[in-house]
Structure 1
Amino acid sequence: MSNAVPDPAAVSVGLDTAAHVGISVADLDRSVAFYRALTGLEPVVEDETMRGAAFARSQGLLRTELRYATFRLRNLGIDLIQFRQPAGEPAEVAANRPGSMHLCFEVEDLPAVYDRMRAAGLDFLGPAYTFTTEEVSPPDAAGTEVAYFNDPDGTNLEIIAPKGGFARPN
């Protein structure tokens, strides 16, 4: 199922502030441990449960029961959600698959964070990379450093040290 793309001349919804990103996980306890280590934060909500027919319908499901935890970053919440009923099948995610998403964490010193993460046993999808003027638009984004990795369920994650044209929006 997909939604039609509204005509911007006919409607302006105005969604301009993100509250959180929700990530479906197979094992809430494992994912909480991973994101705790990744962020250095404790969840503000941990091992809560939601269920009920009305809630299920809001999700497009006939029934649901889930456990969740929430991490609060400075600018965004991360909800980790384990569906107990109905349990889902793992997604086939990859950077180039439509519908796949990634969550990006901004860092000051990418090489230092990358080395610290590797020393902690995290595997990256490839080596850290720095954008060059020949490969990126706008050209002033050259020098931006990125590295990509996955969480335990395969969710695409990124660390970025922005430069120039990729500076944080106001």
Structure 2
Amino acid sequence: MKMSHVGIMVADMDKAVEFYTKALGLEIVMSKAAVIEERETAIGAMCIAVFGQGFKGFNIAHLVTTDGIGFELFEMKDREERHNVDFSKIGLFHFCLETDDFEGVIEKVNQYGGKVRMDTMRYHPEDDNKPYKMVYLEDPFGSLFELYSHSYKETYSSEYE
């Protein structure tokens, strides 16, 4: 199994594209495009099935990470703002990105309207041979994500001990 993409609801597509490309370094695969409610195309029928009749349309953009994971950004025409993480909701909680420029990404997240949700943490502070760092961040629209300094496997696997 491979990861293909993640879909994220945003409140302002232009601001979202700027944040995800300039703060996080993702590449644009398809610029902002409008999707309307219609039944004539496969995409139109799929959107009605997913969002229901009367969804009023949305803008979409497709971005990609350096290792090929897609990010679909959705800006719904009819939506409610949310500013707090709802931990009572079951489902996707966050996504995680890995970078070689840990502090630089944190600075850019702040610069482009995101937030740092906690102090940077080291998983193994007692072991200088394991400098693995992480931090929870937030995009300008309240989507929570984690940033790792090393790979998931390095961070958690006993083979790296």
Instruction: State TM-score, norm by structure 1.
Output: 0.69
How much has 1:75 moved relative to structure 2? 2.6
> Residue 104 of structure 1 aligns with which residue?
96
Unaligned runs of 5+ in 1: 1-15, 135-141
How much has 1:92 moved relative to structure 2? 6.0
> In structure 2, how many angstroms separate the alpha carbons of the residues matched to 1:36 and 1:149?
16
Query: 2:135 aligned with 1:150, yes or no?
Result: no
> Residue 31 of structure 1 aligns with which residue?
16
How much has 1:41 moved relative to structure 2? 4.2
Deviation per CA, 1:41-96: give whole Å up to 9, x if none: 44221121222242333214113311111111123011111111xx1223465284
Query: 2:75 aligned with 1:82, yes or no?
Result: yes
Picking from 61, 66, 70, the partner of 1:69 is 61
Picking from 49, 52, 55, the partner of 1:58 is 49
How much has 1:145 moved relative to structure 2? 0.9
Q: Given that residues 147 and 159 in structure 1 are in contact (C-alpha distance below 8 angstroms), is that contact kept between their aligned partners in structure 2?
A: yes
Paired residue type of 1:57: I
Q: Given that residues 13 and 74 in structure 2 are in contact (C-alpha distance below 8 angstroms), is that contact kept between their aligned partners in structure 1?
A: yes
Counterparts in 2 of 1:94 and 1:44: CA distance versus 1, 3 Å: same
Q: Given that residues 23 and 105 in structure 2 are in contact (C-alpha distance below 8 angstroms), is that contact kept between their aligned partners in structure 1?
A: no
- Residue 28 of structure 2 aligns to a residue whose secondary structure is coil
Paired residue type of 1:46: S
> Residue 118 of structure 2 aligns with which residue?
126
Picking from 81, 85, 94, the partner of 2:85 is 94
CA RMSD between the two structures: 2.8
Instruction: State TM-score, norm by structure 2.
Output: 0.72
- Residue 32 of structure 1 aligns to a residue whose secondary structure is helix
> In structure 2, how many angstroms separate the alpha carbons of the residues matched to 1:49 and 1:151?
22
Q: Sequence identity, in percent?
A: 23
How much has 1:144 moved relative to structure 2? 2.5
Unaligned runs of 5+ in 2: 40-44
Paired residue type of 1:144: Y
How much has 1:101 moved relative to structure 2? 2.1
Deviates more, 1:91-100 or 1:73-82: 91-100
> Residue 156 of structure 2 aligns with which residue?
166
Q: Which has the higher contact order (CA 8 A, sep 6+)?
A: 2
